[in-house]
Every structure is written in C-alpha cells, then in structure tokens.
Structure 1
C-alpha cells in the first residue's frame, strides 16, 4: 500500500511534467527608496514555492517557470533596510515587480511565516511566532535547541550536559512540543528525559518557533508549540549556491564544520550537505565533567523539480550521534583532567534515517500540499560493546492540505494526516514494551481578512490507537501489554488587528489534545541515561488543554518590542514523579546490585500562565540595547503545590554597537547579561531549588570582502566570569540524579569562547 501511494505521487508529478501549464515569470529591480540607486545582493524569496534569488549589481532579479495562477508572498530583505512583503497574483504570464527599500536601524516584524496553515505576514498571523535566521543561530551553542533557547523568549531547554537539549515552550516539553523538519514531524522517541532531537544544527536557513497550541495543524503532541526547521530555499534557474562554515570552542574543544551546495538547472533542483561535530568533556568552574563529550555526523540531500505546476522534492538524511555519560555513584568524584575525544562506556549511539517527499501541486486556482515521510530512529544505550537498551522505531507519515483560492478575503484549508509507528526492543534490557501506534486526523480551517482585521477559526478531529506488546523474561512478566484508543475534537479561534505601521495586536483561544505515549502507558525498567526505574500506567487518560494568549507588538525608530500573556489549563496532565524512599534494587549484567529511585506516571490537573516579551532601544543608528524576558508560573492544582520541571524566569540584556569602519562591512561588537531568577517553586518530593545567577557574554564580528566574495568572521563568548551555577532545568543539578545525596550535582559549562567563519558561495 505504501509503494502504491508513492507510485501515485510520481505518476501525478509525471503527468504535470508532460502536460505543463503556461509558466509565469516575475522580474524587477531592487533600489534604495531615497537615492534610487540599485541594491545588489538583496534576497528575494517566494517561501511558498521554496525558491529564492538575489539582485545583481544593477539591482535586477528574476524568477522563471512559476505557476500561472495563485497568490503568493514575495519577501525582500537586505541588511540595514526595512524588509518588504508584497502579495502577487500570477494570473499574468510576465509580471514586473520593483521594490524600493527604506533604510532602517531596526529589525521589522514584516516577515513571512510558513509554519501555520496559511502562509502569511507575521503581523496578520494570530499565532505567536519567533523567526530566527541563520546568522542568529551562529554562535557558541552546542546544538540547535541550545542556540534557539538563547534567542527566543518563552523557549527553554532541558539539558543533560552539553550534548543533549530538549525544547520547552512556555513550561511544556517532551511530547508536548513538535519539531518539524522537511515538512515532517521529527520522531525520535521524544518521551525520554535525555533524548534530544536528531537534527543537524547547521541545517536550518531559518527556524520558526510557534508558541502556544498548534494542534490544529500538527495534531496530538503540539499543545505546547512547534519548532519548524526550514532548509535553504532552492535558487532560481541557472544558479548554483552554497556555504562553508566552521567554528572552534575553547571550553570543550568543539569543532563544527559544514559544507552545502544547492542548484537549479531548468527546474531540476538539488542540494547536498555534510556536517561533523566533535567535542571532548566540557569544563565547569569546578573541573571537567567526566565522559561528557560527544560527536555527530550528518549527511543530507535533496533532489526534485520546481515547475509551473508547483514543486516535488525528495529529501533524505542520515545523522549519527554518539554521547558519553559518566557512570558515577553518589560520593564518586565527578571531575577529571582529560581532554580525550574517545568516549568511554556508558554512552549512547543514536542513528536517525529519514526520507521525506514534499509536494505542492497547483490544481486549478487552489493547491495541494502533500508530505510523505519515513523515519527510522535507532537508540542504543551501551554499558559495554553490546547495547543494554536498544530502541528501534519506524515511522510512516502522511500529511495533506488542500488550500482553496482566496475569495472575498476568505481563505479555506482542509486537511488530513496519518502516521504509523512500529517500535521494537533489540537490547538485553527493557524499559518500554514493543508497540504499535496509529494516529489519524482531519481538520478544516477558515481565515477572513477585511481592512486591518484578520479572523481565523478551525476544527480538528484526532484518533490515536496504541498497542503495547506483552513480554515474559524467564517466566516473569516484564510487560503486561496494553490496548487503548483515544479520540478528540478540538478547535481554535484567532484574531489580529493592525492599528498602524507601529502597532498591532493578536489573540488566540482554543483547546488541544495529547494522547499518552507508550512510555507513559507501559514503562517498567531501568532507564540508564536517567539513573531511575520508571513505571508506566496503562489507565492514563488523554491530556486536554484549554488555553488563551494575547500579544501586543509595537515598533518605531527608537523603541520596539512586544508583550504577551498566556494561560493554559491542562486537565489530566501526565508526568512521572517519585517519593522519598520509593526505590528498587536491580542486579545488573555485571552481577552487582544497583538501587534506583522509582518514578511512576500519574495525572493531575495543572494550570500554567506567564508573560514573555521584548523591549529594544535604538538610541542611534549604530547603538542598540535589546532586552527580552519570560516567566512561567505553573501549579499542580490537584495537590496544591508547584508543578515540577518549570524554567526559571529570565531577562536577557544585550548592548550591540555597529560603528561604520572603513574596509569592514556589518561590523559589530556586543556585550550581554543573562539574568536567571531563583526557581524555588518546585515539587519538593523530588526537586531542589535552583539559585539565581547572572552570566556575562560578549561577541564581535564583521564581513570581509575578498574580491567579490564575502567572508563572515565572528567570535562569541559566554559565561566570561566563569560563574558556578546550576540551571533549573539541568538534569545534572543537585537532587535530579539522586534523592539521597543532593550534593551529587554537576555545574553547567564554564567560560567558553567560540571562533567561527561563514563563507556563502555563489558559484554560477
């Protein structure tokens, strides 16, 4: 059946290729609005068609072989100028479209958002979205989520040392945040405490972070938000482009290198990337934490067609990640004096394979977006050469959305989604049962725009079926097995109003749904990476979320910013907790006995509310003071105590200077403070407070011109004072690994300076 579906897609592609519609073109000129001089190097993008180009020395640009119908957003960006977004109607074959850009000392909210049901300008999108560019992702982060957590208010991370970061949005993590790459939901067994996401941090051209429920489009598991990872757009016909980037970090010896090439030959498009990272054990202010190094390799590519009927891209990737763990007992020394890049046991060996077929077919005046995916995630946890735990997860997915043409300000989208997971245990120890999971969903969505107002409404139905398999080991039942199914109808409302160019308002309200995952339903064993014994509960009910948020965005030449508030009530919130004295002794393969805290899955009613925003001052055209802040208050209403694992409030302050220096382009120097408040709202049954702390950061960079070639160089420093601190969401802080010995904690990373270069290539 899977092969038949894929065959039908290729037949559809072939049909459109043989009987093409008339092709449309867009061409024009990008100029300075004040001087009328051409602007060379401006980026012009058609995000809906995954195509982009750059203006030449005369400011000219062109797109060829475009669909001959439909309305699309054209986005034009250039450093130092206000971005422009225009809507174009491709009913005419040859469209001339010029852009006059205005110099601006501030970033603009005029950005195109693709991760929602209708691609639109940010100001007309009710969802709270932060868009992070590739330039902003470059720094001294150790992985993609680490980089995002430094940039996006309301986004935090659960960390296990330097190699593992799990996203947390507005206090919600694990299976409540969806990560999307190549149009496909990333399936890497997100239920695990120390299971990160298997995405190359060099891969994105930009990342969209959707804060708040996005279940209408992404289904169960998106009640906290979505991280939408976007690859570089393909260049216009006749172009070959690429990039080379490399960096080195002093704290952990992290070397990070990546090479990418992409091209377009008369509509045949391709892309290839290779990346490699390697780090030894990271250094804390108290010493180097043993066996905390990691290395990963990533190879990815794309082959496809960009034609007047739309596009069809086949993406493929392979990522291999090795992460070390320090097998210490309370009282053992935590720090070593070694910079060896060889990982000792125990360690993780993670491999992620993915195929994704992304299509967008122009059918009449509407369009059909169809994404098919296959993923294999293999996670080996090794105490020696033979894996102890070995999870092998295979996921097949389908997502289809049909968008009708806009009429009288109305836009309608209808869609279906389906996924099937098949998980096997191939190790010698067991934590969760082998399982099969089926998810089905269908939705309808409508958006109305009139004047400066936008209103949207949607309805979705979800069905989830879980089957955990029974398992006996030496005549003793390890897993009882389970069968259950869940269904739900959820809805969403959204509204935006643009008061002026400097002020706009957006608000949302709705319900969302998350079915319990197989780990929550059926765990029964030692999770080596978390040093605990987990016990599931097959009688868990689905979570139901009721939430609302509102955001006010403002911007002028001197002051810009935003302020947002949100509330999220979750009925039957699922989480694992332990009580003092609840332990279990297990005899390991080595014959030694080990005692673990027992964590049992249960349910409570929870309420989370908070505030997030930014306030930025642009005192002169070369002096910028940027400030972001976020705070989440979470309460376990059932037991009248704080909810566990909630990030501390944080304020980020950054002073950035951009003086004009002869011979240097886009020169900057920055200094920043990360101010984390004390987190004493904890679940005292298994958490300890985290003290407040302030980190000093700095950066410097510029763009050099080597003939016609640009070369970006930068240095970024974090924790310059080598501050001793424990992050509230670090799994290595006191009390997280052992209840009995709260001194068993590992400080976060000390002083770190990263030196990097970025070389964009234009080969043809």
Structure 2
C-alpha cells in the first residue's frame, strides 16, 4: 500500500510539473489573420506573427487567465485550464462593434474620463471642421469662426488649455487666438479619443481642460488594398468638397495617400444687420460678405511593420484661404459690405494658413516591454492680408508686401522617448521623456504677437495596477521645465506719433513698447491618481484627482496692440506666474444590452487663473476700443455631464445634458463668471433603424434637438445671450450594388432658420448670429 501511495504521489508531482505547449491563431470577425497581437498567459507572453499564429512553450499544468490584446480591438479574456498541449483559435472584435449606434465613455480599461469615436462616427457627424464634428460628445463644444473653421472647447476651457495631438505629437498654432482654427482635416482622421480632466498626464502644459487625441496610424491588413472617395456639399455656404484616400500593404510595407479639398461661398445667416462699435452694419441678402474660402490638404504615410518593430513616416500639408467680414475688421465700414455680385470671391481682408507637418514614429516591441521613439517637425505659417491702413498718420506702407498686415511663422521640433513595461497581467509602468523647441517669427505692417523662442522638456511616469477584476488603480507623476525668451520691440514711429499728439512721455512709451523683452524659466511638478471600481456587472464608478498647470504664453506675457480678430486692444503682463490648480471628477456608469447611462460631475480650482480683464481705459490708438490686460486670480469651474441611451427594437434615443458653472474668486469680491462660458444645454437624437435587406443595411433616419438655456452669467464686457432651440435631422444608408457599397448621408441643421447666438462664438461680440438653415449631402464610395 505504501508503494502504491508513493507511485501516485510521484505521478501527481510529475504531472504537476509537466510542461506543455499552447498554440493557435488570432483573426478578426471577418476571418482576417491579425499580426502583432499581444498574448498573455500569466507570466508567459508572446506576440502573433505575420500570419496570425502564436505559440507559448513550457507552460506548467494549472489554471491561468488568458488575455489577448490589440489596439483597436476589444480585449479577450478568459480562464484557461492547462492539462496538456492545446490549440486555440481566437476571434477579436473591433472596438466600434461594442456600441454600433452610440458613443459612451470607455472605463473598463482606463480610470480616467475617455471617449473614443471611430472614422464612421466622424463622417456621420461631419460638420465641416473637426471641432464642430465632435460637438455630440458630452462636454465638448466648438467655437466657430465662420463656416469653415472652428476650435474645440471642453467644459468651457479652450485655446491653450486644450491639447490636440496627432499620432502623439501636439498640434501647434490654434492656441494663439480666437480666430486661429484647428488645422486638421476631419475627413482624414481615422480615430479620435477625447480625454477630459486629469487623464492627460502625458501632455503636460496646455492640457488642463483635456486632450483631443487623433490616431492616424491604423495599419492596414496584410495583402490588402482599399480606399474611398467622398463627395459632399452644403447649402448654407454652397460648399463643394472632395476627399479621396487609398491604402495598401504587402507583408511588411504599407502606404496611405489622402487628399481633401473644399471650396465655399459667403455663408448665410438669419439676420439683416449687426451692431459693431456703435454702428449698424447691414447684411445684404443675409450673406456675410467676404466669408468665402477654400481648404486643401494632402496626407502621405508609409511604413515598415514586423512582429517586433515598426517605423512610420507621416507627412501632411494643409492650405486654406478664408475671407474676413469687412464690416467688422478694424474701422466699421458700411460701404465695404455692399453686395459685389460674387459670393465666392475672396477680397481684403483675408487670412492664409499653411500647416506643414512631418512625424516619424518608431516602436520596438518585446514580450513584456515596448520602446517608442517619435520625431516631428511642424511649421505653422499664418498671414492676415488687408489693404494698407494705419492707426497713426506718420506710418508709411512697407516697400514689399504693403498689404500684409500680420505674418506669423511658428517652427516646432519635438522628440519623445517612451518605455512601457508589463509586469505580469496586472501591472504596467510607463516612463516618458519629451523635448520641445519653438521659434516664432513675425512680420507685417501691424504688430501683435512678439518674436520668441521656447525650449521645453518634460518627464513623466505612470503605473497601472489591476488589483482584481473589479478594481483598478493608476498613478502618474510629471515634471516640466520651460525656458521662454521673448524679443522686445519698441515702435519709434508710434512713439513719435503719440508725442506729436500731446501724449506724455510715460504714456507714449507704454504704447510704443509693443513687446517687453523677457527671459523666464519655469519648473512645475504634476500628479494624477485614478481609481476604477466595478460595483456589479452593469454598474461601475471611477474617480480621478490631480494637479494641473499651464505655462503662460508669449502672447499673455508680452503682447501690446490692436487685435482685430478679437475686436479689442490686448496688453500682456510680464509678471504672470504659472497657471496652477487642482481638479477631480467622479464618473458613474450603468450599461445593459439596451440601456446605457453615465453621469460625470467635476470640479476645477485654480489658484491663479489667467484671463483677459478690461481695464476701464480706452486705447489711445484710433478705433482700438477698450484696453484688455492679462491678469490672474483664483477661479472655480464645476458642473456635470449626463448621457442616456435607450434602444427599443428599431428605435433609439441618445440624450446628453450639460451643466457648467464657473467664476473668478477675486480678492475684491467681484466674482465675475469666466468668459466664453457654455450655457446649460441638452442634445437629443431620436432614430429609427431600418431593417437590413439585400440592397441596404446599417440604415437609419433620425431627428435631433439642440436646446441651450439663456446665458445671463457673463464675464466683464460680455453680452448676455438668449436661449434657443434648434431642430435637425438626417438619413444614413449603406447600399450594396454589385461589388459597390456606397454610403449616402443627408444631414439638416437649424431647420427652422432660427436666429440664435452661440455664447462661445468668435463673432458673438459683434452680434453676428450662427449659421442659418443648412442641408448637407455626403456620398461615400469605398473600394
């Protein structure tokens, strides 16, 4: 009996320490083999090869957690009992297949507030510009600049408090002023993630309000060629556009080519006149004269991809030319807005923008770690052209380009190195080092933004810990350094003019010193923590808290001149400190098969928020308006976003409610609201989903409602804005005609041609309403 027991013990021990092989292949739902998929079996891990296969050797018998991950796909996770050699075939589903009709925040993989939308959803909500096309995301709004340009606003924070990153590189240029749009073509973007609050630890300064993260590096499948052509048009500005792309991949090499172009006329508004600088200016034929424009962009990408290494080079170039409404650019002019009979011509004043960018991203992929190395160069060149005019009589026009009013050339070099290490299934640590160099040159007969150079460096570290299936914690640390050197400029012509008009020596010099020479060093730490808790299978909650900061810009420190784009005289403050604060939010989410809802209250506190404060003194320059000076005070921003989605058979409803409250916390007790505060608003989309047929699928008709409350809580010198209700609707259908699968979309907005004002609009200050009734058509022809 004793020998039998010994033999059994020996057999059990031998079996326990037997080593087996687990192998298999990974495909998507269409059966396409997927390479570069990360396979984890506790401490054992590997990557799928170019043919989608994988093999794990020397696996000891036991029960494990098998986790399979690939960017752009849902994570596959299950318990696996190993008692011998095993072959497994895995099917991964794309992320967008999780929620085909709606967008909801992703909190099962991250602790911070993140919302992802794919290329299909971008086209579905396309509204001419990228920022405008993201407005359906809770907490995101757009500050429009006419009909072709806009900039994003998140929770009332915009400009240089929102970072926009493409393929890991921060987009430069749009943060300089209200009239500088986001120079990225919406139809060329492949995937967008909006990160709100403190989840932006990788981006440092300029990311207080959040990050719009654009991924244009989705790699095509092996041995495939595909593309599409998109035709689109609008009635509100008679826009005609074309976008085309093609991509192809062999085994290791791939390329993408994209082109977009659009030409549009003066846009229409439901108004007959505006009021600017005590002057009523007529709007003939309800068209904003000289607001026509065009935009052309080209994008090329090529790369090498293998199981362990990939290198991608992306080159983009965007050119646009957009007219400014002449009746409210500088001196009010009624004659300038008379109908010239051509709604598509672009006359003085206008702006020209060219944004050129090169990005090289490299990845070295191992079983447990990954290195990322990025290089980029971008040049943002912006010009404002206006027939030569002067605010002081002794100024002569330049010999060359006498009508070039402002000329900005911003060159930026970026280098980033990131190392990510996976310690088993439940721990991931990331270290990053970033370097940024900028040089800004200026020209033109007018003056606003100074010349400057800026050197910056940042280091960050993050750790993600999956405690168990129902609890996850993140912590992030960051340290940033920046050196800003601003070139001083004294305008002797202006000085002589002011002295000759009887101004004092002190006053003449204060206006003639157009920028103050500055050489500042900044050093700022930052910390973020995040917690995610699964309450039940359907309920989850996450909490994030951290510090935030923003280095003052050259404009805020040293500008001194008339800013036609903002309709005022702006003066910098060289004594500004780093903008600092604390922020936190809680997100509670429920999700079932037919019902989903999330609510996210948040709060931001700033110890020294930077804002433009009216001085009560009017500029001595003719038509300069009131002088606004950059100042700092404590500030509070709080609110919440609530999203509800319900599906009943073929009907669905998607409703988002936003509430925002903010104010300055000044020492004198005058706690004014912050400027451009988004009013309480609600957006609802109600759809009927048509059953798929042999000819048509993925089709729906929908009605949309946008309601905004009156904004009576206003900053100094702002105007109150009345509330409004807008109706819209649309139709989307994907057809199958032989081998063709065209997608047709029609979208209508402001169906009742309602006259309304967007409180955060660029043109709100001069009573220009938002666009009138608009019908947009889009035809997509994939191949």
TM-score (normalised: structure 1)? 0.84
The answer for the alignment partner of 1:522 in structure 2 is 558
Deviation at 1:409, TM superposition (A): 1.3
Change (3 A) 1:336 1:62: farther
Give me the whole-angstrom Cα distance separating, in 2, the residues matched to 1:65 and 1:29: 10
The answer for the alignment partner of 1:73 in structure 2 is 69
Change (3 A) 1:181 1:76: closer
- Is residue 574 of structure 1 aligned with residue 559 of structure 2? no
SS at match of 2:778: strand
Give me the whole-angstrom Cα distance separating, in 1, the residues matched to 2:298 and 2:711: 40
- Is residue 98 of structure 1 aligned with residue 91 of structure 2? yes
Match of 2:542 among 483, 486, 506: 506
The answer for the alignment partner of 1:636 in structure 2 is 664
Give me the whole-angstrom Cα distance separating, in 1, the residues matched to 2:214 and 2:692: 35
Change (3 A) 1:99 1:661: closer
Deviation at 1:450, TM superposition (A): 2.2
SS at match of 2:134: helix
For each residue in 1:618-640, what CA deviation from the matched residue of structure 2 results, as whole angstroms up to 9, or x when unmatched? 122x1001101111101111132
Query: Which structure 2 residues correspond to residues 743-762 of structure 1 after superposition, within 5 A?
Result: 744-761=766-783
Change (3 A) 1:318 1:449: same
For each residue in 1:459-495, what CA deviation from the matched residue of structure 2 results, as whole angstroms up to 9, or x when unmatched? 1111111100122333754323111111111101001
Match of 1:725 among 744, 756, 763: 756
Maintained 8 Å contact 1:140/1:249: no
Once structures 1 and 2 are overlaid, which stretch shifts more, 706-715 or 667-676?
Answer: 706-715
Maintained 8 Å contact 2:721/2:758: yes
The answer for the alignment partner of 2:311 in structure 1 is 312
- Is residue 161 of structure 1 aligned with residue 146 of structure 2? yes
What stretches of structure 1 of length at least 5 have no aligned partner? 1-23, 31-39, 50-60, 78-83, 114-120, 587-593, 737-743
SS at match of 1:289: coil
Give me the whole-angstrom Cα distance separating, in 1, the residues matched to 2:287 and 2:529: 50
SS at match of 1:710: coil
The answer for the alignment partner of 1:332 in structure 2 is 334
- Is residue 146 of structure 1 aligned with residue 132 of structure 2? yes
Maintained 8 Å contact 2:35/2:51: no
For each residue in 1:391-443, what CA deviation from the matched residue of structure 2 results, as whole angstroms up to 9, or x when unmatched? 11000011221001232611111111110001111222221211001111111
Query: Which structure 2 residues correspond to residues 472-483 of structure 1 after superposition, within 5 A?
Result: 472-474=490-492, 477-483=513-519
Change (3 A) 1:412 1:71: farther
The answer for the alignment partner of 1:407 in structure 2 is 424
Match of 2:713 among 681, 690, 694: 681
For each residue in 1:148-179, what CA deviation from the matched residue of structure 2 results, as whole angstroms up to 9, or x when unmatched? 11x11101122222233121111111111000
Give me the whole-angstrom Cα distance separating, in 1, the residues matched to 2:126 and 2:342: 19
Maintained 8 Å contact 2:598/2:643: yes
Give me the whole-angstrom Cα distance separating, in 1, the residues matched to 2:260 and 2:435: 31
Give me the whole-angstrom Cα distance separating, in 1, the residues matched to 2:107 and 2:54: 24
The answer for the alignment partner of 2:262 in structure 1 is 277
Change (3 A) 1:497 1:335: farther
SS at match of 1:216: coil
Give me the whole-angstrom Cα distance separating, in 2, the residues matched to 1:469 and 1:264: 49
- Is residue 396 of structure 1 aligned with residue 418 of structure 2? no
Match of 1:597 among 626, 646, 649: 626
Change (3 A) 1:63 1:341: farther
SS at match of 1:136: helix
- Is residue 610 of structure 1 aligned with residue 645 of structure 2? no
Give me the whole-angstrom Cα distance separating, in 2, the residues matched to 1:343 and 1:671: 36
RMSD: 3.0
Give me the whole-angstrom Cα distance separating, in 1, the residues matched to 2:294 and 2:629: 33
The answer for the alignment partner of 1:463 in structure 2 is 481
* Divergent runs of 4+, >4 A: 40-49, 65-72, 92-95, 99-111, 333-339
- Is residue 484 of structure 1 aligned with residue 520 of structure 2? yes
What stretches of structure 2 of length at least 5 have no aligned partner? 1-22, 40-47, 57-65, 80-84, 272-285, 388-400, 496-512
For each residue in 1:495-551, what CA deviation from the matched residue of structure 2 results, as whole angstroms up to 9, or x when unmatched? 111233322111100001111011101101222322322110111001112000010
Over alpha carbons, which structure has the higher Rg? 2
For each residue in 1:585-627, what CA deviation from the matched residue of structure 2 results, as whole angstroms up to 9, or x when unmatched? 24xxxxxxx333322111111100000021122122x100110
